[in-house]
Every structure is written in structure tokens, then in C-alpha cells.
Structure 1
Amino acid sequence: MEKLVYALILASRKLRPYFQAHKVEVRTAYPLHHILHKPKTSGRMLKWAVELGQFDVEYKPRTVIKAQTLADFILEFSFEQEEEALVVVPISSITQDPEPTTPAPWWILKVDGAVNNEGLNLAREMRVDNLNVYGDSMLVVYQDTALLGIIPLEVKKQPSVPEAEERLQSTFTQMHCWRGGTYILREVHEEICGNHSGGSSLAQKVLRQGYYWPTLQEDASNFAKACDKCQRYANYINKHVVSLTSLVSPWPFAMWGIDLIGELPKVKGGVKYAVVAVDYFTKWAEAEPLTTITAKRLRDFIYRSIVCHFGISYKLISDNGKQFDSKEVRELCDNLGIVKGFSAVSHPQTNGQTEVNEVNHLLHLDMLEEIRSKAQLRIAAYQQRVARHYNTKVKARPLQVGDLVRRRVMPNTKVQAHGILGANWEGPYKVRAVL
């Protein structure tokens, strides 16, 4: 009983939209209704009963289907051509030599399938040699002809099923060829009883149906991958397609903090100010003494000490001083594509980068190279561990020019009327260039 209930549970899960939209009748000879609604039901049966309770499922006893099956069989395999008959040939006409006598006439016997032998007994009493029997039940005809001691020979002018000979030849006698395999895989995968299963499951289903050929597993996998509906409604692919590319120094000298120091004690040459720029990543400092703090002197320092030495940076951060927010500095940043930023008002002087960096350099100047080498080794070791873990989940999908690919359906392009039953992929599209 549990197997029957479990089969019903699987059907409700796979065909959930149909169970929710329609009333389902379960024809069975077993008391599933009483078992699922028993007050003492416990365990998984109780869990399954609750799951099936959300659907409109009605259990009905199985009725006699013999008459209906016979009617469906006659309706399906009946043709408008001339009726076929069962030719009955006496054994004596096969075992004995024919005599040059007048051929015996042919008699016709029509029965309605009733289980009786009156017609054949009458033919035997009349010593009928040639007899055509027309009946709607081949089982009754074959049983009755045994009473006459004759051999029944069925003469068919055409196959009872269209293209039966071609199908049998392609699927049985030439099972190893791809033509027969394609027909079987299509019937199991997407026809009336198919559920668009994957390659491994499809191969097992074909094997359970009694079919096998040497390349069954590979053919089933390729057939499932090439199915148009399976591609359109497949789940989103979240695996990485390329290996991790590590950078030893992730964008150094990209963001600088610049500030002024002074007024300092006057020294030779009248120098009493200094401009200092610090890289946010490497903490590298560039400084230059100044006699006056004008916008032109700051612009020359940025271009000569930062741009010419380290390249065009991404961002330059300073306080809101009029020298940094001047027309000359803004024009330089705009011409070179440098983003000009200002530090927070509550943390002036580029949030203390210049002052803190000055103290640190005075204390650790002698150990700077050793610290930098250790930091680079730690970064390289960490990146190797990250890349090793990342690459275990990479599934490469190399593409070439001319390949057909599908594009993911984004939320803004998805048809809202389809809801959760809408396709996840669209296309196919042809690859024109590989970057």
C-alpha cells in the first residue's frame, strides 16, 4: 500500500500544476481512500495524506474494462479497406497429395464472439473443406478451430499498425544504429509519458523498457542536452566558467591623499611649508618643500611627483583648502581623468593620512623593506589558497565562432503572464566573435 501511495505522491509532485487546476480521479482496486483517512494513520502515511489533502483527489473503484478495451482496439485498428478474414485450411490438404478433382466450394461463417461451437460443429458435420470464418474475437476463433483439427493461417494484406515494419526494423533488428535509438529516446523523453528527464535517468528508463545498444548512455546524454524545451526551462547556471586570476598588487597607486604641512621653522632658502602625498594601498609617501603654498605649486607637484612617477591615478583626495579646490588643480584632474575627492569635514587633512604616515615612517623606516617583503609573501600565499578553492568549482564552457548559445531571460524581459512557468532561457543566438 505504501508503494501505491508513494507513486501517487510522486505523480502529484511532478504534475503539480495539473493537480492544482483540475479534479483528479484515481481508479484503483485498493482502498487508498480509507487508508489515507484512517484516524490512526501515523508516520510517512500521515505526512503523505496531508500533502495529498491540498488537491481535489477522488478515489473510485476500478470498473470492468474488457468491453471498453475491445471497443478501443477495434476503433484504432479498423480500416476502411476490405475486411480481412481468417483462412482455415484442412490438414489433409497439406499432408496429402492433391487430386485432380473439382475444387471444393468456399463456405463463409460469421460469428459474434459468443463462446459456443455450434457454427464449427455444423461445418464439421457437413464436411466443409474450405471455410472463411469472420469473428470479432480472435481468441474464440483460435480455440474453436482446434476442434476441427485444422491449421489457422492468417492472411494480412497490410500491417495492422502503420509503419510497423519500418519501426520494428529500425528499433529491433538495427538497434545499434542511431535512427532507432533516436526514436526510442524521443518516445521515452518527451512523448505522452515522458517528463523530460536528464541523460542518466533517460538511459535507465530506456534500459528498463527492454532496449539496449552499446552507446545508450552517451546517446541519452546528448539527446537530453539537445532538447529545446529542456534548454529553455533549465535552471540558471551559477558556476564559474574561468579560473581565478590573482593580482599580486591589487591596483596600487590608484588613490592618493594629499595635504599640506606647516608653517614649519624657516630654514635655508626660506622654505617653511611642505606638501605630502600618500598612497592609500602601499602607504608610499611623496613630499616636497615649498616656500609658498599656491595653486600653481600644488599643480606642478601633482603632475611631476605623482603622474610622472606612478602614472595617472584614479582618485585624489584632499581637504577643502582653497589651494586644492582651485581652478588649476581642477583643470589638471579633468584633463587627465582623475576623480577629485574631498575628505570628511569631521576628519580634515585627508582623515589624518599624512600626519599618521609621517610618524610611522620615522619609527619604521629601517624595517620598511623587510615588512614589505613579508606582506607580499603573505598576499601571494593567500591568493594561491583562494585560487585553489575557487578553481575546484569552475566548469569551463569554451565557445567558438558559429556556436549556438542561449541567453538568460532577465526579470525585466520576462513575460509576467507566464509566472513561474515561464522559460528561463531564450534564443538560440550564434556566436560571431570570441573576446
Structure 2
Amino acid sequence: MLYHTTWLISKLDPIKYMMESPALSERMARWQILLSEYDIVYVSQKSIKGSAIADFLATRTMDEYEPLRFEFPDEDLMCIIEKECESPKEKSWKMSFDGASNALGHGVGAVLVSPEGNHYPLTARLNFFCTNNIAEYEACIMGLCAAIERNVKTLEVYGDSALVIYQIHGDWEVRDSKLVKYSDLVAELIK
């Protein structure tokens, strides 16, 4: 930020007052002094047109565009279960899952990808308090249940939670009493 001019776009008058006022008191003065190190220019929200921002973003997309990749190249990610296809006609489905838990809420998501390349996204919001690991298990279970409903026979499962992957794979022991039932349920669904 030290080498660039930052435009502060705000419709709140107190911010404009703080940025443009020559004399402030106590805390506001301290904030202004701390922010004066940076080249910040206050700009009213009405002075920036939406089409100008959209045009800028449209010109930048071609230079930095990368298509979504549903294969995770990270070697630390493991497949929950890997089974060879019984016949050349039978191709495996793929599932990627992720869960998150924070102060704003708890959510889970999974994407099923058919052998033909069709994507089936699944998302849900959890209405109970949970840890991040529980959210990861919930996401995995949601994806597995969706795959079972679609009569998927061969499924490659990918996730970014090393704890969940290694526990389900059997490399790590499930020590948290809250996760034991989740691990057991995933083991049943895998069958």
C-alpha cells in the first residue's frame, strides 16, 4: 500500500470528515495520523460509476483467467477409498467436500462430478454449534448421501481436511468423542 494511491470509496460522512478535517480530537486524530502514512484519497461513492468498475474487471479477466480445476493437485490430499473400475464402461464419479465453522455461522458444501463431467453442487447451512472438524465430516456425509441417492457405484472422494481424510482412511485414530459417531457413519456410507 505504500507505493500506491488508495481510493477510499465510502458513503459514510464520518469517514469523509476524518479524512478531510485539518483538526481532530483524541482517537480520531490518532487514526488520522496512523493513516496519513498511506496515500489515501477519499472519494464519494457517487463519483465512481458502476460501469467503470465493471469495464475494468472485464478487461482484467482475460489476462488472469484460469479455468476451475476440480482435481486437487496437492499431494497431501488423499482419496477416502479407491476402487478399481470393474469394467472399462464403468467410470468413477468424483466428489470434493469442504466445511467451515466460524463466528458468522457453520456451512458445508460438496460437489459431485459425473464421469461425463456434469457438476452437481450441494450446500447447506448447519443450524447447530459445531467445530470445523464436525463441519468437514458433515460436508463429507452430505456428499456421500447424495452419491448414494444417485446410485453411484465408484466414487473418488477429495477433501482438504487432513484430519478427516486420515481418520477415515484409518491412518489416524479418532480421539475426539464428538467425531467417533461421524467417523462410524462415514464408514457405513462408504460400504
**Shared fold by TM > 0.5?**
no
More strand by share: 2
Kindly indicate whether structure 1 or structure 2 has the higher relative contact order, using CA contacts under 8 Å at least 6 residues apart.
2
